[in-house]
Chain A
Amino acid sequence: DAGVTQSPTHLIKTRGQQVTLRCSPKSGHDTVSWYQQALGQGPQFIFQYYEEEERQRGNFPDRFSGHQFPNYSSELNVNALLLGDSALYLCASSLTAGGSDTQYFGPGTRLTVL
């Protein structure tokens, strides 16, 4: 049973560029959430996707956008990268139908903005 997978593992970009991160949820899960974790901090909620729509959003600017595909996989896009966007980006999957309990986290994508 495959867990949550993310790609790429590491990424280096320069200021002003755009980046796309990808996530495949745990088998049987239908909901994907994205988090940003700065060094030494707890993860911060970016947004959550369910049924191919953004269901909830945290306090992040519109430069952060996402998408969910019919197979429940998801992408996170960040435009006009800033130095402060350097962080570990975590994807978590869960099951909404029937009641959602634990969110299972993927290994993360380490983004460095130079």
Chain B
Amino acid sequence: ELKVEQNPLFLSMQEGKNYTIYCNYSTTSDRLYWYRQDPGKSLESLFVLLSNGAVKQEGRLMASLDTKARLSTLHITAAVHDLSATYFCAVDYGGGADGLTFGKGTHLIIQP
């Protein structure tokens, strides 16, 4: 069974702090995605990680992929309130010709 597990599922943190969200998946895949979703909105693409050891950074967010460990991380540096959202990781098990399998999401609240 294809599984994608995120942790934590809920995270409350203060502005200026660093934290990491973890995404484990059950079966080999070379494609992993991170999306952001604001309340009542659709999903916004953040990162696409296509190979082992891939690291991508955008502003205060950095994502990495370890295909051998079947693990991706989303690291938040010096968090700001605007980063409050739900973050999803998703795995493409079909090499691009398939639907994505999503984790349950990490609900992130950043307090001043």
Q: State the A residues within 8 Å of B (CB).
A: 33, 35, 41-48, 50, 55-56, 58, 90, 92, 94, 96, 99-108
Contact = CB atoms under 8 A, between A and B. Distances in A.
A106 B88 CA distance: 16
B70 interface: no
Given A105-B42, A106-B42, A108-B42, A45 B100 contact: yes
A50 B99 CA distance: 12
Interface string B86-112: 001010001011111111110000000
B25 interface: no
Contacts of B42: 90, 105-108
A107 B40 CA distance: 9
16 contacts: A33-B99, A35-B100, A41-B104, A42-B90, A42-B103, A43-B90, A48-B99, A56-B94, A56-B97, A56-B98, A96-B96, A100-B97, A101-B31, A101-B48, A102-B48, A103-B33
A104 B109 CA distance: 25
Contacts of A105: 35, 42-45
A50 B4 CA distance: 25
B102 A44 contact: yes
Contacts of B69: none
A103 B41 contact: no
B54 interface: no
- Interface range on chain B: under 10, 10 to 19, 20 to 34, or 35 or more? 20 to 34
Given A35-B100, A96-B96, A108-B42, 7 more contacts: A41-B104, A43-B90, A43-B102, A56-B97, A104-B45, A105-B35, A105-B45
B50 interface: yes
B105 A42 contact: yes
Given A42-B103, A107-B42, A101 B98 contact: no
A56 B100 CA distance: 11
Nearest to A95: B96
A14 to B, nearest CB: 23
